[in-house]
Amino acid sequence: MLVRRIPPATIRFPDGAVITLSRKIASTAADVAIADAARIAKTVGNSSDPMGDIEHIHQHLDTLDVLLKSLDATADQLDAAAAVLDAKPATETGPMLDTATLARAVADALVAAQPDADLSDLRIAANTLRSAAGELREDAAITRNKRAKVDAHCRSAVAEAMANDRADPLDLDRSYETDFTVPKMLNADAIRTAAREHLLELRNDANAKRAQRRTEKRRELSAKMQEMWR
């Protein structure tokens, strides 16, 4: 049968950069973003450019959004191409579909000329495309969960910056979202106080959870020791 190669999927970023889409590229990028955002959330309070640091996290979020959009679109294209190879109507457009449509047409012409022609390669190709689509959707789901962590670190960084005297809480409130209620009367001191109270509440909650985990571990250890001495 005539061999046709489906062109690789590419991702074009707003700045004009183009990369080839690959399995786990998005979740790997998300891991980098999480580590970077966590670092900034811890250091932004002492940063000389807190707005710039927070904007850096937002660049990570924008990159992940582009990757997720591309993953979803490519997965749909792969599924649609697989359907065309199975002689079903096309539901998408694009280079993948053009190649799949041509391959299906060649196969149909071959069967018309030779009814017993072997089309097993076409079925294998369709199954491979569906499998690839499934892997991309799985990576997209993982990446969305990781993106949520980056966003949480970003909100924490905003609160840390608001609580510090180095940044203008009003500018931060106008530019970024927070996890706490900003006072209705937009006053820098009021916002800074609210941010500090929010951070104190988070730290107290984290300390309480750590204490609870230590208590549970001591109970487990005590139970194991008692079991050993029975």
What is the pLDDT, as a whole number, of residue 119? 77
Structural domain that includes position 33: 10-228
Residue among 188, 203, 213, 174 at smallest CA distance from 41: 203
Residue 1 in any domain: the answer is no
Give Rg (Cα) of the chain. 27
Q: 73-105, pLDDT tens digit by residue? A: 889 988 998 988 888 887 777 777 778 888 888
3-state SS, one letter per residue, for 118-182? CCHHHHHHHHHHHHHHHHHHHHHHHHHHHHHHHHHHHHHHHHHHHHCCCCCHHHHHHHCCCCCCC
Integer angstrom CA distances of residue 24 from 37, 86, 125, 137: 20, 27, 21, 10
Residue 125 in any domain: the answer is yes
When comparing pLDDT for 2 and 29, which is higher? Answer: 29
pTM of the model: 0.78
137 touches 73 (CB < 8 A): no
Residue 172 in any domain: the answer is yes
Number of domains in the chain: 1
What is the pLDDT, as a whole number, of residue 36? 96
